Amino acid sequence: MQFLKECDMLKIEDILPFFSDFVTIDHFKDAICTSLQEYNQHIQDLKEEMEEATKSAEVIRGEIQTFRNRCSFVHSHDVCSLCDLRLLIRPFYLFPCGHRFHSDCLVSDLSPMLPPGKRNKMLELQRQLNLYSSREDTVSVGSATISARDQLKADIDSIVASECLFCGDMMIRSVKLVRVKK
């Protein structure tokens, strides 16, 4: 028992198998009780963490629902945040933060910042989309049938429109990259 007190790495459950079946538990009673209390505290801590994570998930779900029901207006004089040309002349993305980008401007500026796996996936999706530009194939997804072209666009959107180029996490993580326009 003295060995257990001196070594914090070992617990009573680690040394119990080395004792014979005939050793009385009275010698280990305090150590067993302490070990059980530690396990109980650890379980309580885990339960609290799980409750906290559940509450956070509920808050996030609520925020997502709020964004789904949110609308914004685009005026004829609004311009792309990258090229300063009128926004309505080409397909565009409008982010909740208020930044607006032509889709081609966003893709060209975002591509170098994407991780290699996502960048390659986006390039492949764009290549496939170019193949579908003149023909229309259909793909069955669940019970709904949507065009393969629309599915490719949705896949590209999930990469490109996941966060704002200027104020999303990717830009914050890439602060080490210097962006200078000449």
Tens of pLDDT, residue by residue over 81-119, are: 999 999 999 999 999 889 999 999 999 999 888 889 999
The string of DSSP letters for 104-137 reads: HHHHHHHGGGS-HHHHHHHHHHHHHHHHTTS---
What confidence score (pLDDT) does residue 140 get? Answer: 47
pLDDT at 102: 96
Pair of tokens at residue 5:
């007190």
Question: What sign has the CA pseudo-torsion 158, 159, 165, 170?
Answer: positive
DSSP 3-state assignment of 161? Answer: coil
Same domain? 110 vs 42: no
Which of 49-53, 157-161, 163-167, 168-172 is least confident?
Answer: 168-172
Q: Are residues 115 and 164 in the same domain?
A: yes
- The answer to whether position 182 is within a domain reads no
Q: 8 with 46, same domain?
A: yes
* Averaged pLDDT score across all residues of the chain: 82
In a domain, 79, yes or no: no
Burial 62-76 (b: 16+ CB within 10 A, else e): eeeeeeeeeeeeeee
**Could you tell me if 48 and 104 lie in one domain?**
no
Given this model, what pLDDT does residue 179 score? 58
For the question of whether the overall pTM of this predicted structure is more than 0.85, the answer is no
Same domain, 55 and 117: no
Are 28 and 12 in contact by the 8 Å Cβ rule? The answer is yes
Residues 6 and 57 in one domain: yes
If one counts the domains in the chain, the total is: 2
Position 85 scores a pLDDT of: 96
Please indicate, yes or no, whether residues 7 and 55 belong to a single structural domain of this protein.
Answer: yes
The boundaries of the domain holding residue 161 are 87-173
Instruction: Assess if residue 180 is contained within a domain.
Output: no
Q: Are residues 44 and 100 in the same domain?
A: no
Q: Classify residue 82: in a domain, yes or no.
A: no
Residue 169 — pLDDT band, cuts 50, 70, 90? confident
Is there a single domain that holds both residue 8 and residue 53?
yes
Q: Are residues 167 and 125 in the same domain?
A: yes
